[in-house]
Structure 1
Amino acid sequence: MKHETSPFESSETLATLLASTPLLEESWRLCSHANAAAQGSFSVSRVGEVAYVAFSAVQTVGIWPEDRRGNLVEIQSVCEGVFDSFPRGGEEAVMVHGGLLQLFVLFYNSQIFQQKILEIVNECKSVVFTGHSLGGPIASLSALWLLSNIQTNSSSITVFCITYGSPMLGNEPFSQVILQERWAGNFCHVVARHDLLPRLLFAPSYMFDSQFHALFQLWHLSMTAPYFGQIGLQILVEKKDELFNKVLACVACRSRGGGDQETSLFWPFGSYLFCTDKGTICLDNEGAIVKFLYFIMMKGSATSCIEDHLEYGKYVEKACWQYLLKRSSVDACFDESSNDAGITLALQSLELTTQEPAYGDAKDCLLKARQLGCNRNLNNAKMAVNLAKITPLRAQIEWYKAFCDDSDEKLGYYDSFKLRTASKKGTKVSLNRLRLGWFWDELINMLQTNKLTHDFHKLPKYVNAAQFYKLLVEPLEIAEYYRNGEHKKKGHYIEHGRERRFKIFDKWWRDRKVGDEENNPRSKFASLTQDSCFWARVEEARDCLYQFRGETEKGNRTLLLEKIEKFEQYASSMVNRKEVSIDVLAENSSYNLFREEWKELKSQSQLLQPHFPGFQDGMVQ
């Protein structure tokens, strides 16, 4: 018998939540209200301490601009200050559809929108953003804007977003950032079986002539505003089938992982709730979502996709996960596992029968998606075991630090490792440093590929372990960087050499819940310097001193002196607050060498007086 998968994966939990609460009914009710109002409007409703914000489907936006890149723009580029708090991502730019982003900015700049959101944040515990059709991306961007600002403003409001028939919004790096920030669970996109709009942006703009742009605008009005329906259908009687077939071909290409660069621009994020007359199925695996966007559309037509786009109210009434689980008519054989039977029922709910050509592919895709989801808790347990296994490696580095701090050489932890000679002790510590890095890199990779639970990065055990690792090991990483002269090839460590894992751990530590005890002043020096990049700042300050001695241009000398003075004040404040380890104050440490060099330079150079008239002997403590 095959291994049974757990039913408690995130997508199934979300589906159960939506089916057992008024979220779907209430959000769609407000969407309908917004659609009936004026173009470009939004509606707000409150149910207890939950606020609903719905955006009208009737908007004007260029879906197929002349730009072959699909009008993708960086999310921070449209309006300064709006998405400044949104994560930047990795090497590839985080991009969204420029026209859809501009629609959100129009709402954002509205005084009434700002006023309503401020009232909601101050008075409600939860907010649900929702939108039908082109209102969906505006709802998604509103939720993302609030989520990114919650982190900055320390607000406790819960944010959720439900869209109906929404087009794609951004590229794959955009989806990855949402996944990495653990925001994917805040979004659910409801998609009818044949609705074209959620698949529309899989088709690159160059496939369509300029006539299609105007035709689409009218078609969209026919879908979102019924009183335009007859006009739209009459004009599109010849073109609508061509449009449908071109988009379906692009979706098929994407589902197989093919296509050129343009067909790979847009990518799903969050969970997708696929709906038919017979039931629903919820997926949160992006690859599976793309495949199912094709599987359940194969027998559609241009007419059926218009009908489906207008009938989300009907699907909302029938979206009940319990109904799916309790269905009695099952084609599956009795010797199938309960997991196989459940998958068969799920595919039947999307009207995919065993006679369908795509049934086998859809079943394999769904099975893999479920296995990925249910394995998250198992992966959590495995990482807990692996964390315990690396504890001896960390303990050996702690012992090495204590040995260096007590050494007669009086170099301290950082400089002892940087200036080490060939020895078993130094080699073993360096190997342990690498092994610990491998463990944390694997953990981060699993987290960012959605193989761990959504709250993993908030578990105190891992937040504290990551912070301790960073404070203990990053000084060794810095020492190795400067020991090998990497700063001469790439530049200084903080900007050019710091591993991504340490930046991620910085964020984990900033986002943790801080107790009052952490604000109490220290009575003795810290066991580990609380700024893990302290030694990199020391190296940069010493380099500034070296550059100053050879610099003749007055402006550059001034800038160098300002940098040195800024670091000296920062370091002195850390020492005064006892936020450094005793190795910082070791007699022959790099920091003490910096203080001596800085003091000597001040006593020798009269040029410092005009730039820093407040300088006096003895300022360096």
Structure 2
Amino acid sequence: MVSDQVSPFETSEMVAAFVASTPLLSESWRLCTSAAATAPRNFVTEGGGGVVYVAFPGVEMVAASTESNWRKLVAFDSIGDVAVFSARRNKEGHEPVMVHAGMLNLFSTVFDPFRNQMLTMLGNTNTKSIVITGHSIGGATASLCALWLLSYLHHISSSVSVLCITFGSPLLGNGSFSRAILRERWAGNFCHVVSKHDIMPRLLFAPITPYTAQLNFLLQFWQLSMTVPGFRNLAVPISDQLKELFNFVNRCLDAATQEGEGSAPVLFHPFGSYLFVSSEGAVCVDSSTAVIKMMHLMFASGSPASSFEDHLKYGDYVKKLSLQFLHQKDSVQGNIPDSSYEAGLELAVQSSGLANQELDIEPAKECLKMTRRMGPSPTMNAAILAITLSKVVPYRAEIQCYKAWCDQQVDQMGYYDLFKSRRSISKMAMKVNMNRHKLARFWNNVIEMLERNELPHDVAVREKWVNASQFYKLLVEPLDIAEYYGKGTHTTKGHYIEHGRERRYKIFDRWWKDKMATMEENNERRSTFASLTQDSCFWARVEEAREWLNSVRSEIDTSKVALLWDNIEKFEKYAMELIDNKEVSQDVLARNSSYSTWVEDLRGLRELKAKVKRFPHDFNPFLDGEVIP
């Protein structure tokens, strides 16, 4: 048994130190400031040495701050002509991926020029990296632009790297949006810089309906402060309403950090990594739960004035960070712990600025401990999973033996139809059904571990796992289809491919498709039939074709009849191509298989149709739409 593995060091400040030691933050903020001054409703680009920066300013967004849609979410499926998360659909019953309506609308106003600019940049072979940055609401626009670019680059298989850095950006989407970014393994492409007391990144934790006027005032004040030099030295005039807004947001943040039954639901969720900055340093956090708790702890230590003014101080924080990390901190305050992890934890709390607030720092320590890696590393998990795979191979082998047994039966029904009809009620058939469920649990676990980032990011392209998942799909999915139609589930839920297919098979389809896209085209034809039909959904297509054939017999609407015949002929052509290419197993052509029966029924119906044309008066009942027995 493998014991838990934990990092001996506290890494949240180490990561922050690394980021601050690069020119990324200072260059990004400089471009954000330039964009606010020269292109307050557009964006600016700057490039050199293979790195291109794109900066969006913090702009006033009246549509997003109105009472009716301040917290309105809309479905988010694609950007322009590029699907963002379509390859990994949500599980049935889960909420769809959604983003803030006003921010998506703002993004749409700059999308066309941004896309054209990016296509031009990508046409330049010198472009190696693209950094997209933005301040305030411009940060939300930058995030959406980065998502489009990541999707597009994945579509064209480009090696150009993308990094999105935001400053004081509001939250953008719901929990499904955050999880979808994790599944795509894009969380590492987003770094959100949040100052200690800035209210803007925390606003969407609260329903701001009573404070819409105050919010509009803040947006206008921040806009003027970024674009008009005279405003930069002015403090935000704090009214009683703004004090109430600060207290209200603080209470909502507190409620959002509570756990267990009765806790407040969180509508908007953080995604990516968060770099929390203060005058004492910075810490980097990537756990969604820890991000929310850190947001609350740091915000609660501030005041109404600091929470509104902090939104404009990112330039000061970035400058201080660059200087602070040029030299090593002298020591940790108080007694130096023996453990390197505890010492790092003390240093991280100090860098967050909470150690100097005369507050109980234990909640901050507990929050940072949440980011500590527990359990085996992704590489170790992959090794353990490989051993588990070898243990489930016998389940697969028993199903293969069952298929061979079915193919040898004198009734010549084949693998699919025997399992569907359950004529083979025996210990073997029951064992096969149990093995089917055991294999499903194993592969579902693989997918869940991958999506929780508990496996190396390249598992989905490793030949071992791609081949194993493909073999499993081709062998077992016909049994799932047989179970689906054998129990009549299609009569209540609809046909299998659209309404009953398990998510794991769709994911394995993509893995295999990605593998085939990287392989050289093989023009060699098969000399023998495949051991497994290469379309794992073939039998589901047969079942749909059977329904079309039955519908033709009873349908009286000529336009619908024409459509049904068109579907039938398309499937017939598709099936014949598979057979001609020997991409089906021999059970498809078994004398009494569902496919062979369908072919005979189709032949008989065509013969009847031909007779109707030759002798129409003898087939008046047929022409009148009566059912042909």
TM-score by length of 1: 0.89
Q: Describe the superposition over 1:315-368 as per-residue Cα deviations: whole angstroms up to 9, x where unpaired.
A: 334447994995341247566432222222211110223985552222222212
Asked if structure 1 preserves the Cα contact closer than 8 Å seen for 2:493 and 2:499, the reply is yes
Asked if structure 1 preserves the Cα contact closer than 8 Å seen for 2:28 and 2:55, the reply is yes
Map of 1:615 onto structure 2: none
- Say how many residue pairs are matched: 604
Map of 2:353 onto structure 1: 351
Q: Which amino acid letter does the alignment assign opposite residue 561 of structure 1? A: W
Map of 1:544 onto structure 2: 548
Map of 2:580 onto structure 1: 576
Q: CA deviation at 1:375?
A: 4.2
Q: CA deviation at 1:105?
A: 0.6
Asked if structure 1 preserves the Cα contact closer than 8 Å seen for 2:37 and 2:226, the reply is no
Q: Describe the superposition over 1:140-161 as per-residue Cα deviations: whole angstroms up to 9, x where unpaired.
A: 0001112223333333332221
Q: CA deviation at 1:491?
A: 1.4
Q: Which amino acid letter does the alignment assign opposite residue 179 of structure 1? A: L
1:508 to 502, 506, 511: 511
1:477 to 471, 475, 480: 480
Q: Describe the superposition over 1:200-235 as per-residue Cα deviations: whole angstroms up to 9, x where unpaired.
A: 111113242x42243233233255345463798565
1:313 to 312, 315, 319: 315
Map of 1:48 onto structure 2: 49
Asked if structure 2 preserves the Cα contact closer than 8 Å seen for 1:325 and 1:342, the reply is no
1:282 to 263, 281, 284: 284
Q: CA deviation at 1:481?
A: 0.9
Q: Which amino acid letter does the alignment assign opposite residue 553 of structure 1? A: D
Asked if structure 2 preserves the Cα contact closer than 8 Å seen for 1:68 and 1:204, the reply is no
Distance 2:112 2:518 in 1: 37
Asked if structure 2 preserves the Cα contact closer than 8 Å seen for 1:602 and 1:608, the reply is no
Q: CA deviation at 1:567?
A: 0.8
Map of 1:402 onto structure 2: 404
Asked if structure 2 preserves the Cα contact closer than 8 Å seen for 1:8 and 1:374, the reply is no
Map of 1:6 onto structure 2: 7
Map of 1:97 onto structure 2: 100
Map of 1:114 onto structure 2: 115
1:415 to 414, 417, 426: 417
Distance 2:371 2:112 in 1: 40
Structure 1, unaligned stretches of length 5 or more? Answer: 611-621
Q: Which amino acid letter does the alignment assign opposite residue 553 of structure 2? A: R
Q: 1:382 to 1:353 in 2, by over 3 A?
A: farther
Q: 1:358 to 1:561 in 2, by over 3 A?
A: farther
Alignment of 1:55-70 (within 5 A): 55-67=56-68, 70=71
Distance 1:423 1:287 in 2: 50
Single out whichever of 82-91 and 344-353 deviates more from structure 2.
Answer: 82-91
Distance 2:477 2:198 in 1: 51
Q: 1:341 to 1:329 in 2, by over 3 A?
A: same
2:258 to 256, 259, 262: 256
Q: Describe the superposition over 1:8-62 as per-residue Cα deviations: whole angstroms up to 9, x where unpaired.
A: 9997896466345432233222222212213112111123222211112234344
Q: 1:537 to 1:607 in 2, by over 3 A?
A: farther
Alignment of 1:109-148 (within 5 A): 109-110=112-113, 113-123=114-124, 124-148=127-151
Distance 1:592 1:518 in 2: 32
Single out whichever of 237-246 and 323-332 deviates more from structure 2.
Answer: 323-332
Map of 2:599 onto structure 1: 595
Percentage of pairs with the same residue: 47
Q: CA deviation at 1:459?
A: 3.3
Single out whichever of 328-337 and 578-587 deviates more from structure 2.
Answer: 328-337
1:464 to 464, 467, 470: 467
Structure 2, unaligned stretches of length 5 or more? Answer: 615-629
Q: CA deviation at 1:462?
A: 2.3
2:243 to 238, 241, 244: 241
Q: CA deviation at 1:268?
A: 0.5
Map of 1:198 onto structure 2: 201
TM-score by length of 2: 0.87
Asked if structure 1 preserves the Cα contact closer than 8 Å seen for 2:12 and 2:348, the reply is no
* 3-state SS of paired residue (2:331): coil
Q: Describe the superposition over 1:517-575 as per-residue Cα deviations: whole angstroms up to 9, x where unpaired.
A: 45333323333222111110011101211222222222222221111111111111222
1:487 matched to 2:490: yes
Single out whichever of 528-537 and 507-516 deviates more from structure 2.
Answer: 507-516
Q: CA deviation at 1:478?
A: 0.4
Q: CA deviation at 1:379?
A: 3.1
Distance 1:540 1:317 in 2: 65
Map of 1:567 onto structure 2: 571
Compute the RMSD of aligned alpha carbons: 3.2
Distance 1:50 1:148 in 2: 19
Q: CA deviation at 1:437?
A: 0.5
Map of 1:443 onto structure 2: 446
Map of 2:539 onto structure 1: 535
Q: Which amino acid letter does the alignment assign opposite residue 126 of structure 1? A: S
Q: CA deviation at 1:373?
A: 8.8
1:155 matched to 2:158: yes
Map of 2:33 onto structure 1: 32
Alignment of 1:363-374 (within 5 A): 363-372=365-374
Asked if structure 1 preserves the Cα contact closer than 8 Å seen for 2:135 and 2:167, the reply is yes
Single out whichever of 54-63 and 124-133 deviates more from structure 2.
Answer: 54-63
Q: 1:154 to 1:321 in 2, by over 3 A?
A: farther
